[in-house]
Chains A and B, each alone.
Chain A
Amino acid sequence: MGNIADLDTSRHRASRVTGETALALEAYSFWFKPQGGQPEGPAALDDVSFEVEAGSFVLILGRSGSGKSTLALNLVGIYPDYFGGRNQGLMRVRHPERGLINRRELEAAERFKLVNMLFQNPEDQIVTLTVEEEVAFALENYLFPPQEIHRRIDRALELVGLSGLRQRETLHLSGGEKQRVALAAMLALEPSVLILDEPTSNLDPAGTAEVLATIDHVRDELGLTVMVVEHEVDEVFDRVDSVLLVEDRRVVGPLSPREFIASRGLQIRDEMGLWIPQASEVGLELERAGIELGRPVPLNGPELVTGVERLGLRFSARKEPRVPSRAASEASPEPAIEVRNVSFSYGEHAVLKNVSFEARRRELLAIVGQNGSGKSTLASLFNGIASPDAGTVLVEGVPTGEYEFAHLAKRVAYIFQVPEKQFVCRTVFDEIAHGLRALGMSEARVEERAVEILESVRLLERRDASPYVLSHGQKRRLSVAAMVVGKPDVVVLDEPTFGQDFHQARNLMQLLRDLADDGAAVVFITHDMRLVAEYADRASVLCRGEIIFDGSPDELFAAREVLDRAKLKPPSVYEFSAKLIGEPVLTTAELVKRIQEAARGPRRTVV
């Protein structure tokens, strides 16, 4: 690949970086507070040194459990000031009047005014009844006079584009709006550095776009330094100025995004388990296959398209029609779940309106749609958690109302988005054994089978641990395994890959694929279009309580009207592959294959 420094075509980079240091760590280490008389463990952050330039946009990356949140909470001062622990080394922050100073010289309240943080779930930090009060809350605590509070509320709401919602009750905001209100509440304090912990992880594509556009706007207006912890890198990677990699309790960087991708290559995905932008993934896969693009690794679709065009490849139309989806080719024609003209309301609010659809055995069905479109409600009807106001839900041809709840729950395994909510036993082993005992197995057989299952989900070494102390990925695997031990007819998952790194997500989706291949109907609710493109056999789109589309992912991404109406967005590979080879493909693997095929054929002359 070419010279890294000669290229910078990213959308927003570098325009606001001032050259001054906003935040600096020098030989900084942190140890958690030992629990219950235990000796102090190894440092959670070990000898960390880096500087962040004022006005820059920094992405903090690292595999699940690597310490990204610990780093963020140390930067804010929650650790060790509020939750204990010990630190050593130096952390300096830029004070508007005093310049770069040691953070210890400031009182705790002052520290939060300089470096502040937005948590992953906005609902965790909304503590008042209206938008106006929410934005005012911190200002009131910091003793701002009322006139100044009003001025800052106006300014903060204008920055996040919510001026019209000042009097709105926080209860009635959408997910994207709540996140923007929480952001406005932080911005009202006018901090120098704002840290965002996965700000888009709970949001649909439209909400994600809203929040990212807001961050861009805020940076333009205020010159704010923003540090973001994010798994979903496709949308942010070419927006950021630099990357900090949290790895083995240390922090590498800051590196420019291109430098980071170029130096680590596919190791980022394959060994570190991190998501990388699809355009970069294609570029690196081509490089691995010996196809040089003649320029630095691409960070976005346009860069990849320019790079590949230089090769002068000729792409022929697909020889055979696209392989029909498994839904069409292999899925059982008999539906495992059939929803007929179902309506459902919460009080006067109609959530589902005359919905009809079906889930078939041996099929991975994705249910997609905006936040609040009724996806989770629809899924809750499958196993009788809720009953429809009108219409019928049939499981294996029998209305759900005719099943005994416990029996239906065994046939339709519903797996919550938050795994902790479904643990009912004290140990990992018992979680699995619980389902096996329900099948009437002998204790010896339960022991044998539970060990097999724990081994298959790589949890055998944690068999005696409490389910609550596992890592997020482990909890998710355990929650799925515990629910499918009884070989249910239908498996329903709410956001299966939420908060998971690349490897965890892949393993989980493979597990679901195996379940479908064994004959189950697998239904998953997701906002992740990459997941839909790569794994779903069929997708159903819910929009304001109505099914507006039912078909293959290919057909879905081609249906612009549906995407616009449901505010969905195809994965980036679908967009740039159309420009690159003349027709869209769903996955990076398919695109790489097409480029490799073209590279073996005749080439055009490139002027």
Chain B
Amino acid sequence: MAHVELSFKKGNSLFHRMTPGSKLLFVLSVSFVAIFNTNLYVGAGLFLFCLLLALFCTGVPFKQYWALGKIIVPFVLILAIVFPFFYGGQATVGSDAIALRTPVKDLSWGALGFGALLGLRFLALGLAGLAFAFTTHPSDLVQNLSRHGWDYRLVHAPVLGLILFPSFLKLGQEISVTQRIRDLGQNTNWLKRKWLRVRHLAFAMLVLGLRNGQTQAMALDIRGYGAYKTRTFLREVPRHRAGEIFAWVFFVLSVIYLFMQFNPANMQWNMQF
């Protein structure tokens, strides 16, 4: 297996002690608030809240977050800076067509604010997601959700995906290196070469990925995966009352906030100004 960047990090922090179900509830609440919130100050507050939680309640060094953050942040910044120029709905001119024709002239504080909100939204989501991934043992997640009536095979599949994804990624990197070595798309222009390489990469990864997947499926089958509807677990995940209360309180507050600020006329996808 290749290096698992998103793997569980051992620890005894507040987040580690929370049950996976509580954490999932918290992350879902953060996600809904981040996605549906239209207030810049709430967006900034949510981001800061997630940042503080990640720094002080997960026991995971910030450099672990930054290892992935440095890949994501540039994209978020580009999105936050570029998007306001082309977001017709936030422009003062009143029409998308005009806004798109004269992006710089029509740039408004509102549009910039929306760009910032967009960036903060992705950062909050990223932090909450990483905090969950770093502090949740996959097996505990399966156990916790199984106890809530979910089929363990259904829950375990994405967990397996998370564990096996790095090796799939490594395969893609190796095929990509091969394409460079073999100079695939030689004597063609840049665009055509890119197209040829993407097409070949997709095909080779499909063939080799399926083959590896077949072996892995066999390996799972012969170890009884899916042989019964339920399974036992090596160790019990203990309940953590404080964590449950925290998650439920946050969930309730999120619902109240979303309910209060819900107004179809102001929602960002409403382009009818």
Binding site for B on A (CB under 8 A): 73, 76, 78, 82-83, 108-109, 112-113, 116-117, 119, 121, 123-129, 132-133, 136-146, 149-150, 153, 169-171, 185, 189, 383, 385, 405-406, 409-410, 414, 416, 420-424, 434-435, 437-438, 468, 482
Contacts and interface: CB of A to CB of B under 8 A. Distances in A.
A416 B180 contact: no
Nearest to B222: A112
B181 A116 contact: no
Given A119-B215, A129-B4, A141-B225, 10 more contacts: A83-B218, A109-B224, A109-B228, A112-B224, A125-B215, A129-B7, A149-B232, A171-B3, A421-B171, A421-B208
A123 B167 contact: yes
B177 to A, nearest CB: 6
Interface stretch (B14-22, B73-81, B125-133, B182-190): B182-190
B259 to A, nearest CB: 40
12 contacts: A82-B217, A117-B222, A128-B163, A129-B8, A140-B232, A141-B225, A142-B228, A145-B232, A146-B236, A189-B223, A189-B224, A420-B208
A138 B231 contact: no
Contacts of B218: 73, 78, 82-83, 119
Nearest to B143: A140
8 A-B pairs with least C-beta separation: A109-B227, A141-B224, A125-B219, A138-B223, A409-B181, A136-B234, A422-B178, A406-B183
Nearest to A386: B177
A76 B228 contact: no
Contact of A125 (B182, B216, B235): B216
Most buried by A among B212, B219, B222, B223: B222
A119 B217 CA distance: 12
A119 B227 contact: no
A437 B187 contact: yes
A108 B220 CA distance: 13
B92 interface: no
A143 B181 contact: no
A156 B49 CA distance: 46
B211 to A, nearest CB: 8
Interface in B35-53: none
A143 B232 contact: yes
- Interface bin, chain B: 35 or more
B175 interface: yes
Given A127-B216, A420-B207, A468-B207, A146 B232 contact: yes
Interface in B203-254: 204, 207-208, 212, 214-228, 230-236
B222 A410 contact: no
Contacts, number: 142
Contact of A124 (B138, B163, B212, B236): B212
A399 to B, nearest CB: 19
A422 B233 contact: no
B7 A385 contact: no
Contact of B223 (A108, A129, A141): A141
Contacts of B236: 146
A435 B183 CA distance: 9
Nearest to A126: B1
B180 A405 contact: yes
A132 B233 CA distance: 12
B160 interface: yes
Contacts of A189: 223-224
B232 A422 contact: no
A143 B233 CA distance: 8
B193 to A, nearest CB: 11
Nearest to B185: A424
Contacts of A82: 217-218, 221
Contact of B180 (A117, A136, A141, A409): A409
Contacts of B186: 406, 434, 437-438
A389 to B, nearest CB: 18
Contacts of A149: 232, 234
B177 A146 contact: no
Contacts of B232: 139-140, 143-146, 149
A468 B183 CA distance: 19
B224 A142 contact: yes
A435 B181 CA distance: 11
B234 A127 contact: no
Contacts of A435: 182
A145 B232 CA distance: 6
Contact of A142 (B178, B187, B227): B227
